[in-house]
Structure 1
Amino acid sequence: MSDPREGLTVTHRRYIPYSHAHYAGDLVDGAYVLGLFGDVATELCIRTDGDEGLFASYSDVQFRAPVRAGDVLETTAVLTRAGTRSRVMDFEARVVCRGRPDKGGSAAEVLPEPVVAATASGTVVVAAPGAVNPPAR
């Protein structure tokens, strides 16, 4: 019997500022995308468990297309398996808008079709039911 939480999806969109470009061509490093995956995973855990969770691992990370400063990136987490305390999720990052510096300093466009920039699977661990987390200092 599957858990009714499985299939729950969380999506965020974020504009990537030029201050995050690390490489020629205004490329953004892959770690930035993994951080965004962490953000959607956190919201998914809050929604399913009332706990932010902690990432245990990523698996099968694939960087499929470049991410550039000036992009609007849509990141999605889907809960694929809920264990007692572990939550396995699939992630996808899609470029939905892209800066067009060739058309002007602030020119940009909505892409006719999103470009899949990265995919991954990951496991997050949540607090045991009824556990009391220590207060922050």
Structure 2
Amino acid sequence: MTADHNGTKVTHRRYIPYSHAHYGGNLVDGAYGLGMFGDVATELCILTDGDEGLFASYADVQFLAPVRAGDVVEATAVVVRTGRRSRTVEFTLTVVCRADPERGDSAAQVLAEPIVATTATGTVVVP
């Protein structure tokens, strides 16, 4: 019988360096967040199943707000369905801090209201 891992959650927080800016306005490409989703999915599989697992697919990805160099983001993964070998996972990428160049070159602020930048649903498979 498979253990029920529903509700198990992993969060990673990361500063996005300016070297990752890909577009005008210091925008970072959407693949950056998807890479973070892969990282939290890996830790989630290790936590729940003792194996890194494999990312099988995304069912839905929504890019809701821009992510910029100088942001601090949180990527969160939550198991919402536990199958025999698969896990359905909901992902959220949230901007929690943002550079504030109007105040100075190195100024930044913690956002009073974090910005949900990307959401996704994916499937991981474990042996």
Task: Quote how far apart the aligned CAs of 1:114 are.
Answer: 0.4
Task: Quote how far apart the aligned CAs of 1:94 are.
Answer: 0.4
SS at 1:47 equivalent:
helix
Q: Show the counterpart of 1:34.
A: 34
In the alignment, is the contact (CA less than 8 A) between 1:5 and 1:82 conserved in 2? yes
Q: Could you list the runs of 4 or more consecutive aligned residues of structure 1 that deviate by over 3 angstroms after TM superposition?
A: none
1:8-48 deviation digits (Å, cap 9, x = unpaired): 01111000000000000000000010000001000000000
SS at 2:44 equivalent:
helix
TM-score of the two chains, using structure 1 as the length reference = 0.89
In the alignment, is the contact (CA less than 8 A) between 2:15 and 2:73 conserved in 1? yes
How is 1:1-137 mapped onto 2 (pairs within 5 angstroms)?
3-127=3-127
Task: Quote how far apart the aligned CAs of 1:124 are.
Answer: 0.6
In the alignment, is the contact (CA less than 8 A) between 2:4 and 2:82 conserved in 1? no
Task: Quote how far apart the aligned CAs of 1:4 are.
Answer: 3.1
SS at 2:102 equivalent:
helix
What is the number of equivalent residue pairs in this alignment?
126
Query: Which structure 1 segments of 5+ residues have no match?
Result: 128-137
SS at 2:37 equivalent:
helix
Task: Quote how far apart the aligned CAs of 1:82 are.
Answer: 1.2
SS at 2:12 equivalent:
strand
Q: In the alignment, residue 63 of structure 1 is paired with which amino acid?
A: F
SS at 1:89 equivalent:
strand
- Calculate the aligned-residue CA RMSD, in Å: 1.1
